[in-house]
Amino acid sequence: MARGLREIKRQIKSIQGTKQITKAMEMVAASKLRKAQEMAQHARPYSDKLKEVVSSIASGTKGIKHPMFEKRPVKKTGYLVITSDRGLAGGYNANILKKVMTTIKEKHKSTDEYVIFVIGRKGRDYFRRREMPVVKEVTDLSDTPSFSDIKSIAYAAVRQFEDSQIDELFICYNRFVNALTQVPEVDQLLPMESMESQTTGVTASYEYEPSPEGVLEVLLPRYAETLIFSALLDGKASELGAKMTAMGAATKNASKLIGDLTLTYNRARQAAITQEISEIVAGANAQA
């Protein structure tokens, strides 16, 4: 019985140590989540202004053409998938990877019909294990990424569309709703929908040098890359929210386990004491 009590006590101590770790990780994730939300919010004014300028050019110039507006027969599709480098984030990675796999299975019959650009070690390892065509990857991002961290993969994905190596590009990420809710999204990024009908109300008048088409030639790839970066910031906020939720649940489960084991320990200890008293009384009666 003494051995059983020692094992229960060891279990309680071990779970208490785990609880301290999960509680600390929950607090760290909560702290980083606030910063990630601020970064996502601060990136929106730039994205919105860029969209306003692009829309103004598209609506103010009749018959304007650009490869990024061009819809062509789809022979090959690109998927830019945003995951995390580390686990312990609940269903964050599993949800988006499941959504991507479902989309690929529905749209394609062979690996020759698509390519994958992936951000995050979890996604990279997942696709590599299944021998899927990963053409570009970025890993080891911080919790406060900058555009320079993903510039190479964003440029590569947009460039492949412009060069007709792929005929459409989807961006796959977890859209942040709140710390408890992250929604996996697979959104078409390219070709862009025509923006001519998207301008409403009073718009500013711009003069373009050398020409509206020349400015659009530079702005449209930047706009697409900005949308990728905005999705990354949204995904990072989702990742931290999922981590905070997962670690909070782990802490609660640890507390419940500790309570159950403590109750078991107390019952076993009381049974051992009762047995010892019974043995003492039986010994005393035998001597009497």
Pick among 3.30.70.890, 3.30.70.270, 3.40.50.12280, 3.40.1380.10: CATH of 28-196+203-245: 3.40.1380.10
Residue 63, SS3 per DSSP: coil
Q: What is the mean pLDDT of each run of 10 residues along the chain (288 residues)?
A: 78 94 94 88 78 70 70 93 92 95 94 95 95 95 90 93 92 90 91 60 62 76 88 93 94 94 89 80 72
pLDDT at 197: 47
Amino acid identity for residue 174 in this structure:
N
Q: Where are the domains of the chain?
A: 28-196+203-245
pLDDT at 246: 93
Using the CB atoms, write b or e for 68-102: b if 16+ within 10 Å.
bbeeeeeebbbbbbbbbbeeebbebbebbbebbee
| CA nearest to 127, candidates 112, 137, 142, 140 | 137
Amino acid identity for residue 182 in this structure:
Q
pLDDT at 37: 86
Q: What is the DSSP string of 235-268?
A: HHHHHHHHHHHHHHHHHHHHHHHHHHHHHHHHHH
